[in-house]
Structures are given as C-alpha cells and as structure tokens.
Amino acid sequence: MNSSIIRYILGNVIKIEAVLLFFPCIISLIYKEDEGIFYLIVSIIMLILGNLMTYKKPKNNVFYLKEGCITTALSWILLSFFGCLPFVLTKEIPSFTDALFETISGFTTTGASILSDVEALSHCSLFWRSFTHWIGGMGVLVFLLAIVPLSGGSNMNLMRAESPGPSVGKLVPKIRYTARILYLIYLGMTIIEFIFLVAGHMPIFDALATSLGTAGTGGFGIKNDSMGSYSPYIQWVVTIFMILFGVNFNAYYLMLFDNIKKALSIEEVRYYFIIIAVAILIIFCEILDTTTGAFESLTQASFQVASIITTTGYATVDFNLWSQSSKTILVMLMFIGACAGSTGGGIKVSRFITTAKTMIKELNSYIHPKSVKKIKMDGKPIEHYVVRATNVYFITFILLFAVSIFAISFDDNDLITNFTAVAATINNIGPGLEMVGPTQNFSIFSPLSKYVLMFDMLAGRLELFPLLILFYPAVWKELFNRKRHAR
C-alpha cells in the first residue's frame, strides 16, 4: 500500500480546508464579530500541519482503489474534525460531540442539526455551516483532482471513491479536466441561484447561505423556521434549484458541449422527473383541503418533494402534520434520492432502475429459461460488475440500516423517530418524522447514538464501502507489513 501518497493527499486536503476557513474570517470582518479570530487560529494551525505533511513529496504517485477509498474516508474524517474546532472554540457549540455532529452533517450535506436556536449563531458560523454543504456537495477531493497532478489511473480511483452513484465516467479524456468542468458547472449554477434570490429581495447574506446550502443539497437554514418565512417566489426559486442540483451533472455537460436532446434522453434523469411529478401530484391532492388555496398547496408539495428527494432537507411547513399517505411518500423519497453524479444523496434513482430491470430479467428467465437478455440503460448494456455492485450495495445498506436502528434504540425513543433518524442520516437528508421532524432537532439523542448517526452520515455520503474499508483488518495488516519491510 502506498502510504506516502495517502499522507501527501491528506496534507493537501488539510491545506485546502485551511484556505477555505479564511472565508468565515472575511464574514466576521464584515459584520465585526470576534468569533472570526478562532477560525483564523484553526486555519493557521492547519496550514502548518498541511505543509509538514506535504513537505516531502512521494516518490510514487500511483495508487489503487483501496488507497483511494482509505484516502477518501480519512479525508472526510479530518475535514470534519478540524472543521468543528471553531464551533467549540467560539463556545457557540461548546460540546465537542455536538460540534462534530453539526460539522459532519454539514460536510456530508445531511443538514441534521443539534441546534434549537440557529439564529443565535454569529454570521461567520452561520456562513461556515452553509459553506460546509457547498464544499461537501461536489467533494473536496474532486476539487483536489482539479489542482493537484496525479497519475491518470490514480485520479480515477480517487474520484470513484468519492463520487456518488454506482459508476463514474469521464466527461473528457483527462480526469483532471473532468473535475474542473464539474466545479465550473457547480459554481456557475450556484451564482445563478444567488442572483435569482437577490432579485427576489432576499438579503445578500441570506441569499449566499441559501445558495450554498441548495447547491450542496445540504439544507442548513439560517432561520429557526428554515425557509418558512420567505416569500413564495424565493421558495419556488429554491425548489427549482434543488431539483436541478439533483440532476446528474453529465446532463449539464451534454447540454453545454454536446447535444441537448442527448442530455434529455438520459433514462435516469427522465425517471427522476417522473417520480418528482407523481409525488407532487399526490401530495398536492392530499393537502389541498388544509391550505388556503391551490397555489399554496402546489408550493408546499413541490418544495417538500424537491427537498426530500434531493436530500436537501429545507422545510417550509411541518410536514410531520400531513396525512399518513403524504408522509409515507416522503419517506419513500428519502430512500430513492437524487441522480447519480449529482450533489444529492439517497440510494440513487439509477440503482432502483438497475434493480427493477434485474428483477424483470429474472422473472423473464422463469418464463423463457433459455433466453439470453442483457440489461440496458440508455440503450447500452449494463456491465455485470455494476449489477453485482448494486445488489451488494443494497444488502450492505439494509444491514447497516438495521444495525443502526438497533444501536440507537437504547435511547428509548419511539420507532418512527429512530427509523426516520437513521433514514435521514444515512441518506443525507436532515429532517425525519416525530421527534426529529422539521421543527425538531437531533439533540434528543445520547452521545453514543450521535456517533452512530455520524457514522451513518459519512457512510451514506461515501457510498458505504470507502468508510467500511477502514474497519477491514486486512487493509491495516498490509499497511503495517509494508512499513515493517521498509525498515
């Protein structure tokens, strides 16, 4: 195992976060807040540590998927550890466990909070919470790939470990340029949303924080009622952009550089919009009698469906009070999630399409035992390893989900609370139902349960296996054997 390149990449990740911590310092200067000094202190410490870790460049830049997974998992843990320190030092979140929970929730774009009074935070801390969504949405390692040269195969292994979805493809021949294109599209869409929000008379700071949270499909609100106090125009802008950020970014590349018709023909994207339309229609009919009119019902239904399926987690109403059928639809959307290759979480639409087609193929084999039929997506055969990986993912997901529910059940909360808390964290959504509903928070859980839910947030964002591999003994055995032989 190439431990030197792991150390080198982790050092670069720490340096990147150190630079990003300067942004809340700037916000603190604008609003004349003392809390910014703590962000600066943490940033300087990280710059020193990052430079020490990258001072000696590795002789061998090549590494494989296992190194990519380990590097990715450790990067996200380090990001969260250092990212939570300003909350602790400013004493705005004095408990380290709570601060770590909030930060992991931010970087994994979950949006689950332990805070009961968000508006009590300083502007720089509110900005940092939302900014962690934007950083984690596309992935800090994708950004790293755009600026740090590595060997070609190594780039793909790193990108595969961090990118959401069952498979990762290149937009252009070089992965480095693919990473740059992804970030340019990401940044461009964020700026466009910001402009639309400001045009709707949303305060500049609010528009900035909301744009960052929407782009990363994170959902940390800067108001205690999330998005409920904003105008219908602003709610519709956020709704549209939540849906757009849940689309596979490959579609945007095709729209910009290739063929719009080809982009619109992507099967996953079509099903994604169909699911959204059907869910909105059903919930709209369900809540029509409880609102002041059809427009309000459509606004609420559209916003919440977009928020849940894209795993953003913003809220305009307490959907915990909706009918059982409406809440059931939202819970189903929690698991479906957005498209692969987007900033959204969940299991992903493409995996459900693949599983459904596999099931149909299996049923067909009972009727026509000798038939040989390939499963296809967008007219192309799905490789066997993708089908196998999808099946293994579902099995692992169910096992981890069940173990997590059991682990937090000792807090003696009701089953719906526990079930939706795990669903909301492992799918990177934020709010659940009952005691973790949109008007509640996750402070009710014990420290042990919070660490279980933190693990779920990281596992969900990293597609399970890059985090789980850290607990695989053979990996560390190989690492220590290499070090022993090196001596």
Cα torsion through 147, 151, 155, 158, rounded to 10: -110
Quick one: which of 330, 326, 325, 299 has its CA closest to 313?
330
Q: Which residue has the higher pLDDT, 452 or 473?
A: 452
pLDDT at 303: 96
What is the per-residue DSSP string for 404-458? HHHHHGGG---HHHHHHHHHHHHTT----SGGGSTT--GGGS-HHHHHHHHHHHH
C-alpha neighbours within 13 Å on the C-beta side of residue 280:
22
pLDDT in tens, 67-114: 778 888 899 999 999 999 999 999 999 999 999 999 999 999 999 999
Quick one: which of 314, 319, 242, 248 has its CA closest to 276?
242
pLDDT in tens, 344-399: 888 999 899 989 988 988 888 888 887 777 888 878 888 887 888 889 999 999 99
Per-residue pLDDT for 241 more than 90? yes
Could you tell me the pLDDT band of residue 168, with boundaries at 50, 70 and 90? Answer: very low
